Amino acid sequence: MTWRGRLERRDLGTGVWVLHTTDGTVALYGDVPGELDGKAVVVTGKAVDGMGIGMTGDAMVQVDQVKPVEGS
């Protein structure tokens, strides 16, 4: 699946990534390049049920790939 939105790095624990999409916010687990903080991106991955260290209250996505949206 893919999600589009703006990335945000939250200073919680060791650091948590969330993606603000038009449908709400999702929490991202996996490798996210730090330089994309604040940028519009396309995230490829899968929605997962489970628990994590972020505890942002959002749906969780296990990240396969994060790509910046060109021109963002």
Partner 1 sequence: MGRTTMRWLALVGTVGAVFAFGPTRGLTPSDHAPADVREARARPVADGVQSDAIPGNLVVDLVDGSGDADLAALERILGHDLDWVHELARDEALASGPVPDLAAALSALHAHPLVEVVEPEIMMEAYGRPNDPMLDKQWNLVDIGMDQVWTTGATGRGVVVAVVDTGVTKVQDLEGTHLLKGASFVPGTSTAADDQGHGTHVAGTIAQTTNNGVGVAGVAPGATILPVKVLSGAGFGSSAWIAAGIDYAVDEGADVINLSLGGGYSSIIHNAIKKARDHGVIVVAAAGNSGRSGVGYPGALEETIGVAATGPSGERAPYSSWGKGVDIAAPGGDKRTAGGGILQDTIDGKGGHVYAEFQGTSMATPHVVGAAAVLLGTGMAPDAVERTLLETARGEGWDEKLGHGRLDLATAMGARSGLGMGKFRFLLGAVLALLVAQLASTRGSYQLASATVSATVAGGLFFVPAWLLGAAGFLSSPALEWPAAFIGFGFVTFPLWLSVLLPSAVGFTLGAFRGTRPIAAGLATGSGAYLLHAAATGAVAPSWLPGTVGTAWLAVNGILCLLVALGLAGAQKLDEQELR
Residues binding partner 1 (CB under 8 A): 10-14, 16, 29-31, 48-58, 60, 62-63
Q: Which CB atom, from 13 or from 33, has the smaller least distance to partner 1?
A: 13
Distance in Å, CB of 23 to partner 1, minimum: 17
Q: How far apart are CA 71 and CA 59, in angstroms?
A: 27
Would you give the distance in Å from CA 22 to the centre of its chain? Answer: 13
Distance in Å, CB of 40 to partner 1, minimum: 22
Q: Which CB atom, from 23 or from 72, has the smaller least distance to partner 1?
A: 23
Distance in Å, CB of 24 to partner 1, minimum: 12
Tokens linked to 16: 């948590």
* β partners of residue 70: none
Q: How far apart are CA 53 and CA 17, in angstroms?
A: 11
